[in-house]
Structure 1
């Protein structure tokens, strides 16, 4: 066990890196269509470089309207922000 912890520290892993967003599970038929979600976020000013499904979340990588780099997880039914990282 101690070797695993030492290896993780050596490789630079942290609890924050290992923590995933916790999106509520909704039936797929209740999800906002990916194309509609992307269009709404772009209309809100996001420049999306990557849009993907991560578990029960929509996840984007790109820039906000202020030009800051973002990684944001959204609820697939409501598009509420579940987790965000802004640089």
Structure 2
């Protein structure tokens, strides 16, 4: 019984679902948040939610140019995608 409980706690651990680490660069080197979002919108993204994560990423929830639901973590310095989840319809 204890083993099952321990396995359940480990599986539900926040570390299991941790955001990726995007950068360790000083925030002064990060791209401007508004300009970053405007650039994504010009690429066809529809941003429902934008946030800065505790692991130094710009994260968006929304839709890409093909109207697929996306969750994407970006490096705020380079703008490169670090991790993404695309939901095909």
**Alignment RMSD (CA, Å):** 2.3
| Counterpart in the other structure of 1:85 | 85
| Counterpart in the other structure of 2:63 | 63
**C-alpha separation between the residues in 1 aligned to 2:60 and 2:7?**
31
**C-alpha separation between the residues in 1 aligned to 2:47 and 2:61?**
6
TM-score normalised to the size of structure 2?
0.82
- Secondary structure of residue in 2 paired with 1:62: strand
TM-score normalised to the size of structure 1?
0.83
Unaligned runs of 5+ in 1: none
Count of equivalent residues: 84
Unaligned runs of 5+ in 2: none
Superposed structure 1 runs of 4+ greater than 6 Å apart: none
